[in-house]
Structure 1
Amino acid sequence: MCKKSNEEFRMDNLIKEYIEYIENKRKLSLNTVSSYRADLKKYKDYLEENNIDIKDVVETDILNYLVELEKNNTSVSTIARTTSSIKSFHDYLFFSKICAIDPAKNIKKPKIKKETVEILTEEEIEALLNFENLDSNKLKRDKAIFEVLYGTGMKVSELIDLNVEDVDFEMGSITCSSSKNKRVIPLIDVTKKYLELYVNEARENVVADGENALFVSALGHRFTRQGLWKIIKKYSKKANIDKNINPTMLRHSFAIHMINKGANIASVNKILGNTNLSSIQSYLSCIDQNMRKEMNLRHPRK
């Protein structure tokens, strides 16, 4: 929440005050000041078009705006500079005590080089998650692991750090608290179903005394990254998937499949706990590649 009157919240006035600050106090170059002014004018227009008051801006709003720039084929260098402009502006509002929070503090500038994202197809995911039976504690556990990894997009490091109390079956959510981007992720029905099956019918049969980890090894203790890696490799081989599958691939597959189904890109990034715009760029790049492939394969003029 911000602390000034509605009149003082006018973006034009705030931008003017900020520009005077970076000109007179920070002594930034004329070119930088001019670029920041232009960036913030466009940012102001976006907020007004979406009926977002500056006092109500949250991190997702800023990410949504940067995604719009990316969709409009704005260069990576321009997006990087715009990110700096917005971060500096919100930093000014916060430290000037105009606003009580800084929604841009965790947002990072995109990397200039875009990374290629490897994903599994939805058919490959189905094959990987297709367990013929769940007649043992181990199978129930492994099924739950895959459903949680793909159903939430969390990192392997986050999954192995999960404790029993991080799952709220009544609310249908799971809390990732081990990383710096703590967040609560909703559980879809199928993920909740198999996770509940594991917790109620398998974990209690194998867990060691005093162990609080959600997922435990055959010895009853918290998994290691290497142990989880072996499980993923085992089932990818069983599913006859001819790709070098790794846990990150499941995470990216979750993101791309969600976006392909119409999910908001910035919202997906929020679920993943990402604050780096380069991740969004990678997803958009992957989607663009898939679109070109679909056009080549399925266009009626082919």
Structure 2
Amino acid sequence: MLPRNLEQPLERFYEYLRSERELSLHTQQNYKRQLTRIAEQLMELKVESWQQVDAGWVRQIASKGMRDGLKASSLAMRLSALRSFFDFLVHQNVLKANPAKGVAAPRKSRPLPKNLDVDEMNQLLDVNEDDPLAIRDRAMMELMYGAGLRLSELVGIDLRNISLSKGDLRVIGKGDKERIVPFSGLAREWVAKWLKLRDSIAQADEQALFVSKLGHRISTRNVQKRMAEWGQKQAVSSHINPHKLRHSFATHMLESSGDLRAVQELLGHANLSTTQIYTHLDFQHLAKVYDEAHPRAKKRNK
């Protein structure tokens, strides 16, 4: 049972959530569960009132949650409930300031996107049908995998943006940033095959490289749908989506070259840290590259 100095302010807060904020019963129960656990922890720490709690105590609560194996999302929820409660106490003139304001929950780990291995990619791209839409789809997939494009970049390509003779194309990435990316080999071959058929499908005034069967610029949703269908048709074990082709490009390029900076440029990433996440790059590899490349890190000959 909680001591009166801890329990009474909580009861007033719960009433506020119910009558003034009119939160759902489920949300109210979540607040109560999180705050009750915090109050119990404060009791264990010999804290007798909410006025005693400062940022140091809040950090201890967060640290204990982490030691207890609380997930980042659950800990974020717990601290959010505490911040809301302290805001209420500040509004009630019980506290002068909210001690939980400056304490951030640990960031949620970002799940790494999955890639296809080279054999799975070859299986997916082994499309040899004569149907114009099948040729278009293979050209799209070859180009996404061959140039590491984002879905929005793929559908945004106009005829004037691509040069088969040079083997490069201009794309507009995030933040309207333009970049030139190379493409060659099978990507170049299948884009050329598609271009021979495109005019028989595209509307006369359509400038898009890839068009739908109605002759207009293909939509992102249509590309997603078609790639998922090809994944099933080609019996690829995992679900296929456009980003998986981009990520596979990044992973395979890095595995072959080890050149993180070049992969960053090809992907159009503003920050190197983003490329590290996409490509599963681990610290040991970074350390090895650093040790071998940095002039002040190289071992001196004795």
TM-score where L is the length of structure 1: 0.55
* In structure 2, distance between residues paired with 1:170 and 1:202: 18
Distance 1:250 1:280, change over 3 A: same
Is the alpha carbon distance of 1:274 and 1:112 closer, same or farther for their aligned partners in structure 2, counting shifts above 3 Å?
A: farther
Match of 1:119 in 2: 115
**Structure-to-structure mapping, 1:43-192, within 5 angstroms:** 113-133=109-129, 135-177=130-172, 179=174, 180-192=176-188
Contact 1:158 1:176 (C-alpha < 8 Å) held by counterparts: yes
Query: Distance in 2 between the 1:286 and 1:263 partners?
Result: 10
Contact 1:207 1:220 in 2 (8 A): yes
- CA distance in 2 between partners of 1:287 and 1:240 (Å): 31
Q: Percent same amino acid at aligned positions?
A: 29
Distance 1:188 1:115, change over 3 A: same
Distance 1:151 1:167, change over 3 A: same
- Once the two structures are overlaid, the 10-residue window that deviates more, 214-223 or 183-192, is 183-192
Q: What one-letter code is carried by the residue in structure 2 that aligns with 1:190?
A: L
- After superposition, the C-alpha distances for 1:61-110 in whole angstroms (9 at most, x for unaligned) are xxxxxxxxxxxxxxxxxxxxxxxxxxxxxxxxxxxxxxxxxxxxxxxxxx
* SS of match in other structure, 1:261: helix
Q: 2:215 aligns with which of 212, 215, 220?
A: 220
Distance 1:270 1:112, change over 3 A: farther
How much does 1:132 deviate? 2.9
TM-score (norm 2): 0.55
3-state DSSP of counterpart to 1:124: helix
Which string of whole-angstrom CA distances, capped at 9 and with x for unpartnered residues, describes residues 207-226 of structure 1? 01201110000000001111
The match for 1:77 is none
Q: Does 1 or 2 have the higher relative contact order (CA < 8 Å, sep 6+)?
A: 1
CA contact (8 A) 2:251 2:280 kept: no
Are residue 242 (structure 1) and residue 237 (structure 2) matched?
Answer: yes
| Distance 1:261-1:267 versus aligned 2 partners, 3 A rule | same
Residue 192 (structure 2) aligns with: 196
Tell me the number of residue pairs that the alignment of Structure 1 and Structure 2 aligns.
Answer: 178
Structure 1 runs, 4 residues or longer, greater than 6 Å off: none
Question: What is the CA deviation profile of residues 220-246 of structure 1, one whole-angstrom value per residue up to 9, with x for unaligned ones?
Answer: 000111111111111000121222322
Amino acid in structure 1 at the alignment position of 2:227: I
Structure 2 distance, partners of 1:240, 1:288, is 35
Larger displacement relative to structure 2 (250-259 or 182-191): 182-191
The reply on whether 1:260 has 2:255 as its aligned counterpart is yes
Q: Secondary structure at the match of 2:257?
A: coil
CA shift at 1:115, angstroms?
3.7
Deviation at 1:263, TM superposition (A): 4.3
> CA 1:271–1:139 in 2, change beyond 3 Å: closer, same or farther?
same
Kindly indicate whether the alpha-carbon contact (under 8 Å) linking 1:208 and 1:220 is maintained by their aligned counterparts in 2.
Answer: yes
Q: Is the Cα contact below 8 Å between 1:117 and 1:286 reproduced in 2?
A: no
Write the letter of the residue equivalent to 1:264: D
Q: CA deviation at 1:124?
A: 0.7
Q: Is the 8 A contact 1:168 1:174 kept in 2?
A: yes
Counterpart CA distance in 2 for 1:182 and 1:263 is 25
Q: Distance in 1 between matches of 2:188 and 2:128?
A: 19
Matches of 1:284 and 1:214, distance apart in 2: 29
Distance change in 2, residues 1:178/1:255 (3 Å): closer
| Shift of residue 114, structure 1, vs aligned partner | 4.7
User: In the superposition, relative to structure 1, how do residues 140 and 276 fare at CA in structure 2: closer, same or farther (>3 Å)?
Assistant: same
Which blocks of at least 5 consecutive residues in structure 1 are unaligned? 1-110, 290-302
AA at the equivalent of 2:204 = D
Structure number, greater radius of gyration: 2
CA distance in 1, matches of 2:225, 2:242: 11
Task: Give the match for residue 293 of structure 1.
Answer: none
Q: CA deviation at 1:171?
A: 1.3
